[in-house]
Chain A
Amino acid sequence: MSDKIIKKEELQDFLKALKKAHEVFVPAKEKDFYRFNPLTDENKGDLNFTNTRLSPKSLLFPQSERIFEYTLDEESSDAHIVKESSKDYPSTVIIGIRPCDAKAMRLVDVNFNNPEFKDPWWVKHLESMTFIGLGCNEPCSTCFCTSVGCGPFNEEGLDVLLFDLGENFLARALTPKGEELLKQGGVDKDANSGLKKKADELKIEAENKISSHVPTDKLKEKKVDDLFNAPFWDDIAFACINCGTCTFLCPTCWCFDVQDEITKKQGDRIRNWDSCMFPLFTLHASGHNPRPEKVQRVRQRFMHKLKYYVDKYNNGVACVGCGRCVKSCPVNIDIREVFSLMNDL
């Protein structure tokens, strides 16, 4: 672990140097909100942001991704043979990812990359990425990362963590990949002990600024059945319009659907984001739907994040406290309240 200094006016040089060897994504404001866009001559990025509207998961787990293809052309010798789509996995650097989102990528990795199953596309995307995170000097009132094993300067999942110290960034390399990248970008000036101290203070200050807290301590010991049959689900679900916004924006939601799409004789097998909020998600071929009502779908979302995941992986909750669902749910269903209801049942 080493601490280097990047002067703010030299940030663009650093990014340019990285661009020579990697694809670089930076937060950029388009319309009224931020998203991760490729660094170009026009798009220099903007680190004065709170967070992106959509989480960066789409960079590793695109909303629609072709995974296999085939031809229906009977003349062709490989008619009907399903083949993996060839794909490039260029080395990619994500600049400015927030610590919650970086942790979320680790959390999704638990599902897509474990001794039992390896999702080859996820694994290759993740391996091709380097994450240069930006700590949060000013957490939002909807951020509750410190309650769920994360924090505004959490290091998990990051290769480099940037501390915004005003005139300079302190760049803390956390992995050999991160060290290498800083070297490549021409960042070699060591931070003096004064700046290191300032960075550590910034971290504590930011943690103390987190104003939103949720209880999680009793989730594990609760009985699944008790939570499943709890009296509060109807109330929580009443307002929900089952729109899926919460799941599409969430960095930890990983569910997908696989669909074949055929254009003339070319067949594509595409993996698409899906959502437990949609009735179609559980519709069986027989026509039976085990989750026919919205209350069951709402319960599933929260039970998955706050109970099933907790029990299955013994790794905390499947939520990093980014607050996206809290901010964007059109009817203000607030997961922080559900944390309390479930934990304190």
Chain B
Amino acid sequence: MIEYGEKIREIAKKILEEKKVGLIIGFKKGTIPMMTEPVLIKDGQNLDQLYWDSFCNMNLANYLPKREEKIGIIAKGCDSRNIAVHIVENQIKREQLYIIGVPCKGMVDRRKINYFLADKEAREVTESDEDIIVKGEGFEHTLKKGDYLQDNCTKCMHRNPVIYDDIVGDLVEEREEPDPYDDVKDIEEMGSEEKWGFFSNLIKDCTRCYACRNACPLCYCPTCFVDESDPQWVGKSIDSTDTVTFHILRAYHCAGRCTDCGACQQACPMDINVRLLTRKLNKDALDLYNHEAGLSIEERPPLDTYKPDDYDEFIR
């Protein structure tokens, strides 16, 4: 994927010069291995900061809402779907955007690599097409990217951007996963006690920093329910009732809108996989409404749609 960088810079330069856009939102190389930083480029001078590798894992659609300018934005499959969700939800206009699509081969999970290194520090990380080469004090490992992908990427069915104005490489093959929701099914099969235990354990370390919420493009409410203070809706201490309330409500607010981009999981400082909550709702949206978020810029999310001829009587 590293070779995409050059193409990204080329396209960005062109659309800035042609004044198609006034700024570019992309990634720059991180200051430490396996990290990148979202960056806003306003003019040609800083164009060479634009960068691409297998650790561009944040979702750039998060930086779009309420912007007025014409924007060039780099988008993996999932980012492009979140851009589509933004367009449908009137957070940004299609005409404002020049989407530079990135056919995605999956993002590598730095936590999985750190876990493999067992508290040894990666000092230098480079990559080739298939491999990640990790160097540190007295060791060097060549790891298969495929074994260290983010969980969501191993299940991703839309790696190619769904909308784009230009593309940085050949489209990749979409995977034919027999069942992307096997993990959710395992949880569905648990009894209610067991489920409660499972989720309580999942979030027991939560510090309520809200990184998961803030990393998510879907969470653009001017005031989040957890921040309502007059009156206050949710307590501020780490009482488990409030923590559970936050997680359940956050997940429900994403129902039918979540693209499983994994930004929430990647942002969590306590390694909590909050996607286990949203994925159940994604599965329900698929089972009940045949809906996957962000595949079109016309279709509204199922939970904010009303049809006079709805098949359910109670809602008519």
Contacts and interface: CB of A to CB of B under 8 A. Distances in A.
Given A50-B119, A244-B211, A332 B237 contact: no
A48 B237 contact: no
B211 A259 contact: no
Given A138-B137, A259-B237, A328 B269 contact: yes
A90 interface: no
Classify chain A's interface size.
Answer: 35 or more
A190 B269 CA distance: 42
Nearest to A270: B237
A272 B269 contact: no
A196 interface: no
Interface in A238-286: 238-239, 241-245, 248-249, 257, 259, 261, 270, 272-273, 275, 278-280, 283, 285
B115 A140 contact: no
Query: Secondary structure of the A side of the interface?
Result: loop
A255 B35 CA distance: 28
A256 to B, nearest CB: 10
B214 A336 contact: no
Interface string A283-313: 1010000000000000000000000000000
B32 A243 contact: no
Contact of B236 (A241, A243, A272, A333): A272
B37 A241 contact: no
Contact of A241 (B207, B211, B235): B211
A248 B211 CA distance: 11
B238 A64 contact: yes
A32 interface: yes
Interface residues of B, number: 40
Contact of A280 (B30, B119, B229, B237): B229
Interface string B217-240: 000000000010110000111110
A243 B210 contact: yes
B211 A332 contact: no
B207 A248 contact: yes
A232 interface: no
B209 A243 contact: yes
A330 B32 contact: no
A259 B36 CA distance: 37
Contacts of B141: none
Contacts of B236: 257, 259, 270, 272
B40 interface: yes
Contacts of B271: 31-33
Contacts of B119: 34, 48-50
Contacts of A2: none
B58 interface: yes
Contacts of A273: 207
Which of A64, A138, A235, A243 has the most B CB atoms < 10 Å from its CB?
A243
Nearest to A283: B229
A279 B214 CA distance: 12
Contacts of A32: 111, 114-115, 271
Contact of B35 (A34, A53, A63, A332): A332
Contact of B209 (A248, A280, A331): A248
Contacts of A63: 207, 237-238
A337 interface: yes
Given A280-B229, A330-B266, A243 B121 contact: no
30 contacts: A32-B111, A32-B271, A48-B119, A49-B119, A53-B270, A63-B207, A138-B137, A141-B121, A142-B32, A235-B40, A239-B38, A239-B58, A241-B211, A241-B215, A242-B214, A243-B215, A243-B267, A245-B209, A245-B267, A248-B269, A270-B236, A272-B237, A279-B227, A327-B32, A331-B58, A332-B30, A332-B37, A334-B31, A334-B32, A336-B31
Interface of A: 31-34, 48-50, 53-54, 63-64, 138, 140-142, 235, 238-239, 241-245, 248-249, 257, 259, 261, 270, 272-273, 275, 278-280, 283, 285, 326-328, 330-334, 336-337
Given A31-B271, A50-B119, A330-B267, 15 more contacts: A31-B205, A53-B269, A142-B32, A235-B40, A238-B38, A239-B38, A239-B39, A243-B210, A243-B211, A245-B267, A248-B269, A275-B209, A279-B227, A328-B269, A332-B35
